[in-house]
Amino acid sequence: MNPIRVTIWNEYRHEREDERYRAVYPDGIHGAIAQGLGLESGFTIRTATLDEPENGLPEDVLMETDVLLWWGHKAHEEVDEETVNRVQGRVLHGMGLVVLHSGHHSKIFRRLMGTSANLIWRVADELERIWVVAPSHPIARGLDRYIEIEREEMYGEFFDVPPPDELVFISWFPGGEVFRSGCCYTRGSGKIFYFRPGHESYPTFYNPDVRKVIANAVRWAAPTDGPPRVFGNQAALPSG
Amino acid sequence: MNPIRVTIWNEYRHEREDERYRAVYPDGIHGAIAQGLGLESGFTIRTATLDEPENGLPEDVLMETDVLLWWGHKAHEEVDEETVNRVQGRVLHGMGLVVLHSGHHSKIFRRLMGTSANLIWRVADELERIWVVAPSHPIARGLDRYIEIEREEMYGEFFDVPPPDELVFISWFPGGEVFRSGCCYTRGSGKIFYFRPGHESYPTFYNPDVRKVIANAVRWAAPTDGPPRVFGNQAALPSG
Amino acid sequence: MNPIRVTIWNEYRHEREDERYRAVYPDGIHGAIAQGLGLESGFTIRTATLDEPENGLPEDVLMETDVLLWWGHKAHEEVDEETVNRVQGRVLHGMGLVVLHSGHHSKIFRRLMGTSANLIWRVADELERIWVVAPSHPIARGLDRYIEIEREEMYGEFFDVPPPDELVFISWFPGGEVFRSGCCYTRGSGKIFYFRPGHESYPTFYNPDVRKVIANAVRWAAPTDGPPRVFGNQAALPSG
Amino acid sequence: MNPIRVTIWNEYRHEREDERYRAVYPDGIHGAIAQGLGLESGFTIRTATLDEPENGLPEDVLMETDVLLWWGHKAHEEVDEETVNRVQGRVLHGMGLVVLHSGHHSKIFRRLMGTSANLIWRVADELERIWVVAPSHPIARGLDRYIEIEREEMYGEFFDVPPPDELVFISWFPGGEVFRSGCCYTRGSGKIFYFRPGHESYPTFYNPDVRKVIANAVRWAAPTDGPPRVFGNQAALPSG
């Protein structure tokens, strides 16, 4: 089996501009994710960041990407419309997309969802307990019945996304909220997974269970060799 | 519009056998639910209980029932197989079914789900906060973004039911659990709603929001005048 | 119960520009749909067309619309981005949207779906047989097990839309194709229904079953009085 | 990766009792399926049939089975209730189940679905064209946009099963019917796939595309190493 070609996209502003976040992610959030994925076999990994030419995602990079990971937060608006168009086109043609945490507000995720992707939130160093509600799902492989993250930002319902095709995780927060924190979608020939945790001020992307989920999600979202895309005017077929 | 003919089925053992529960529900759990539904217009209401002949659900009662509500707990095994067969048949032909709280372990709910309907639980006088995650769903009509019940039994994931066709509510409990507490299913021409709260020791069925959900669920589950059920060997149809 | 306020939007170019289509729809496609809905009670109906100011859908019209119907075909690109933004915003806040036939390629439908909404098609005067696969769904109310339309344009799979939350109809065509022709979605607090038939050259919108489906869809898509939309930073809630 | 342990269960009456079917499947339907799966790597295959002790599925066989395939037709009622109980239990604990053709009426499929699994049918040597409607699904891997089977029995809607979690295929028949012919479900920790074609009088299980679908389905349904099943009374968890 060929390795899955992964591109980890990170906005990469927090870590460059603020030493508090750089202290947590000295190699950037993308670096920490790449390190985690690199512990497993079966992936070839590259990274891309907002301030690179064409937002780091020119056509040739996307054509060589099986699964794209996306982390962004404060500069969503700076992503070019052309980049969003290219990524959307590739997803419809089969590229997987794994959207992490504050990536819920990215242009590409909102584009693919058709909704605001708004939610409620609070930064208060709270425990997050992520319950598995789809035990047979490949993204839950190797997990216990819940994941705990010692300190995280809270995201709560209502989360303005379409009802997920498959709901894998629900988060619990001590402040009283719940959140659909692992949501699967398909768009065209592509698979999309949204995974909630990963605030820039917490070491979430070093957490072994979070890393396991991300690796599972990449494998799940990798393109299958599905039917060709055929559209437009077509002659009638034989009736046998 | 004709009124919806509702039959409220209650095991009715706790309230007869234990004065602690009778103190909460002097007219039985079915009585409290009937009282709540009776505050709204558009329903004709009857009740039925386990120890009546044919478990209170002979063929003629079921034929005159649009939506059946089900509360049971300690005597699930005493429900006759024939009763379960009759109810299942009626659901497939269009009767709605609203299953309440410990009814998750009833024979009829397990029969229709195909699973164990097991879960985790704890009786510890805990707050339950029930979040709406499907704001456009008719069962969420008239609610705020969450319902609070001051004291309830906890039910937690994993809840061994099929992924709901529509997930309307997720519960939060202070002990650290979440639960898919409002689950919609269809089976045949019938609609099924499972609603979590309603332990026998708490006055949950007097709660105005719980009553609102139950009334909404009855309206949602009421049969539509759908297509006839046609099965078996059929001749080819014209091709135009 | 208050009447449902319906706005029927039609591109209204075919019928004005080509007498073949005007012969079929002398009052426009919107006129035929309005006439059909008007045969039932419970609706207040207005129409809007592309070439009116603000595409016939200024803010005040949308604010007074419970359910918007959408038919367009050859001038999708002429719909202003601002119009699409307004309609999307209203859907997320609860307005229903019923998209008809070639409206699959409208900006608003693609915006809400996140996909190309491409499909295969053929204009060959073919019979369409539309099978009900969700007999308990309110949109199937009053139908037989299938609808037949004597002559229609063919649409076939793959239809590039997200998997519908509820699939109500599947179409059969004599040329050998199938199509998911009745698809329910929710976006935000709004409900969306896509219904396949309705080519400009056929009298589909006079068909009594098609009219029944449209009326059912409008009732299904009408806003419920759901929870308020609350987003943003929130304080922790009490734990009971 | 360990091979997937597959058990192919066949009623095995038609082929023994009637030479017309034996002519098509001299090694039994299970033999033809086993031959097809054997062409690919990654499986260890055994077969089991109705008339073996414990219906060929004693506890130890099921415990060593990752995915069970099921073909039955005329002797559904002769499958022991105990066998059905054992299989259902194993599915809930993670064993995959692939139900083929007339297996729709098997006790185990009806048990897991909660419905009658009734449908309409006709034996008339008709072409079946099976359209892929979920191009990103692993079960569609390697297929073209549709599969054609030269001669098959017709199955048509309404198919009385719960709405599938994922709908992969829709069949077209020249006699005018459609059918949801590739349906995915989850029950407990187990995955279930129903696949329509495979009448005893046609050589369907030698068809390369059908074999591809079955191999894909086995891989999809194979158990993941998911969370443990924990149920019952539980203490509160720490709040961080």
Measured on CA atoms in the order A95, A98, A103, A109, is the torsion positive or negative? Answer: positive
State the pTM of this model. Answer: 0.98
DSSP string covering C198-236, please? --TTS-GGG-HHHHHHHHHHHHHHSPP-------EE-PP
Those residues with Cβ within 8 angstroms of residue C206's Cβ, 6 or more apart along the chain or in another chain: C32, C36
Domain assignment of residue B235, yes or no:
no
Domain assignment of residue C126, yes or no:
no
Residues of B in contact with C240 (CB under 8 A): 126-127, 150-151, 174
Residues of D in contact with C157 (CB under 8 A): 131-133, 145, 170
Domain assignment of residue D193, yes or no:
yes
pLDDT at A239: 86
pLDDT at C58: 98
Domain assignment of residue A127, yes or no:
no
Q: Give the CATH number of the domain where residue C108 resides.
A: 3.40.50.880
pLDDT at D240: 78
Q: Are A157 and B131 an interchain contact pair (Cβ–Cβ within 8 Å)?
A: yes
Domain assignment of residue B231, yes or no:
no
**At which residue do the structure tokens 């949602």 appear?**
B220
Residue A155 CA, distance from chain mean position: 16
Do the beta carbons of residue B167 and residue B128 sit within 8 Å?
A: no
Instruction: State which residues form the domain around C24.
Output: 4-114+180-221
Torsion of CA A82, A88, A91, A92, to 10 degrees: -120
Q: Taking CA A166 as the corner, what is the angle to CA A132 and CA C84, rounded to the nearest 5 degrees?
A: 130
Do the beta carbons of residue B179 and residue B171 sit within 8 Å?
A: yes
Write out the residues of chain D at the interface with chain B, using a CB-CB cutoff of 8 A.
88, 92, 111-116, 118-122, 124, 156, 158, 160, 162-163, 165, 174-177, 185-188, 227, 229-239
Give the helix ranges, DSSP H, for chain C. 14-17, 19-24, 28-38, 59-63, 81-92, 107-113, 208-221
Could you give the CA distance from residue B194 to residue B172 in angstroms, rounded to a whole number?
A: 17
Could you give the CA distance from residue C146 to residue D239 in angstroms, rounded to a whole number?
A: 54
* pLDDT tens track for C126-177: 999 999 999 999 999 999 999 999 999 999 999 999 999 999 999 999 999 9
- Is residue A19 exposed (0-12), middle (13-18) or buried (19+ Cβ within 10 Å)? exposed
Domain assignment of residue B72, yes or no:
yes
Domain assignment of residue C153, yes or no:
no
Residue B13 Ramachandran class (φ > 0 left, ψ -120 to 50 alpha, else beta): alpha
Measure in Å the smallest separation between the Cα of C124 and chain A Cα atoms: 9
- Could you state, in chain order, the average pLDDT of each consecutive group of 10 residues for chain D (240 residues)? 94 97 98 97 97 98 98 98 98 98 98 98 97 98 98 98 98 98 98 98 98 98 96 93
- Is residue B230 exposed (0-12), middle (13-18) or buried (19+ Cβ within 10 Å)? middle
**At which residue do the structure tokens 């053992």 appear?**
B13
Residues of D in contact with B97 (CB under 8 A): none
pLDDT at D76: 98
DSSP string covering B12-70, please? --HHHH-HHHHHH-TTHHHHHHHHHHHTSSSEEEEEEETTSGGGG--HHHHHT-SEEEE
Could you give the CA distance from residue B134 to residue B180 in angstroms, rounded to a whole number?
A: 12
Q: Facing residues of D98 across strands? A: D69, D193
**Amino acid in position A72:** G
In angstroms, the Cα distances linking D160 to A32, A49, B97, B216 are 49, 50, 17, 26
Look at residue C89 and give its three-state secondary structure. helix
Assigned token pair, C63: 């604010």
Given a cut of 90, whether residue B229 has pLDDT beyond it is: yes
Confidence tier at C9 by pLDDT (50, 70, 90):
very high
Look at residue B159 and give its three-state secondary structure. coil
Q: Which chains touch D (3 or more CB pairs under 8 A)?
A: A, B, C
Q: At what angle do helices B28-38 and B208-221 cross, to 10 degrees?
A: 80
**At which residue do the structure tokens 């949501």 appear?**
A183
Minimum Cα–Cα distance from C145: chain D residue: D158
Positions in chain A whose pLDDT score sits under 70? none
* pLDDT tens track for C72-108: 999 999 999 999 999 999 999 999 999 999 999 999 9
Given B134, B159, B172, which is nearest A172 (Cβ)? B172
Given C129, C135, C157, which is nearest D176 (Cβ)? C129
pLDDT at C187: 98
Assigned token pair, D53: 């002790």
pLDDT at B240: 78
Do the beta carbons of residue A105 and residue C232 sit within 8 Å?
A: no
Given a cut of 80, whether residue B84 has pLDDT beyond it is: yes
Q: Are D144 and A227 an interchain contact pair (Cβ–Cβ within 8 Å)?
A: yes
Q: Are C145 and B227 an interchain contact pair (Cβ–Cβ within 8 Å)?
A: yes
Write out the residues of chain D at the interface with chain C, using a CB-CB cutoff of 8 A.
129, 131-135, 145, 156-159, 163, 166-167, 170-172, 176-178, 180
pLDDT at B230: 97
Look at residue A20 and give its three-state secondary structure. helix
Assigned token pair, C10: 């039609």
Torsion of CA A107, A108, A111, A112, to 10 degrees: -150
Those residues with Cβ within 8 angstroms of residue D148's Cβ, 6 or more apart along the chain or in another chain: D127, D128, D129, D130
Number of domains in chain A: 1
**Residue of C58, D26, D140 lying closest to A191 (CA atoms):** D140
* pLDDT tens track for A69-101: 999 999 999 999 999 999 999 999 999 999 999
Could you give the CA distance from residue D152 to residue D157 in angstroms, rounded to a whole number?
A: 16
Q: Are D226 and A135 an interchain contact pair (Cβ–Cβ within 8 Å)?
A: yes
pLDDT at B38: 97
Q: Are D236 and B124 an interchain contact pair (Cβ–Cβ within 8 Å)?
A: yes
pLDDT at D239: 86
pLDDT at C240: 78
Write out the residues of chain C at the interface with chain B, using a CB-CB cutoff of 8 A.
94, 126-127, 129, 132, 134-138, 140-145, 148, 150-151, 165-166, 174, 186, 188-191, 223-230, 237-240
State mean pLDDT over B39-61.
97
Residues of D in contact with A138 (CB under 8 A): 224
Domain assignment of residue B226, yes or no:
no
Q: Are C160 and A231 an interchain contact pair (Cβ–Cβ within 8 Å)?
A: yes
Write out the residues of chain B at the interface with chain A, using a CB-CB cutoff of 8 A.
129, 131-135, 145, 156-159, 163, 166-167, 170-172, 176-178, 180
Average pLDDT across chain C, whole number: 97
* pLDDT tens track for B209-223: 999 999 999 999 999
Do the beta carbons of residue C144 and residue C198 sit within 8 Å?
A: no
Q: Buried b vs exposed e over C25-38: b needs ≥16 C-beta within 10 Å? A: beebbbbbbbebbe
Q: Are C133 and D177 an interchain contact pair (Cβ–Cβ within 8 Å)?
A: no
Q: Are D141 and A226 an interchain contact pair (Cβ–Cβ within 8 Å)?
A: yes
Instruction: Give ipTM to 2 decimals.
Output: 0.97
* pLDDT tens track for B161-209: 999 999 999 999 999 999 999 999 999 999 999 999 999 999 999 999 9
Peptide bond into D205 cis (omega under 30): no
**Residue of B183, D228, C152 lying closest to A143 (CA atoms):** D228
CA atoms within 13 A on the CB side of B128: 32
Could you give the CA distance from residue A198 to residue A214 in angstroms, rounded to a whole number?
A: 11
Measure in Å the smallest separation between the Cα of B52 and chain C Cα atoms: 31
**Amino acid in position D147:** I
**Residue of A85, A43, A41, A48 lying closest to A66 (CA atoms):** A43
pLDDT at B64: 98
Write out the residues of chain A at the interface with chain D, using a CB-CB cutoff of 8 A.
94, 126-127, 129, 132, 134-138, 140-145, 150-151, 165-166, 174, 186, 188-191, 223-230, 237-240
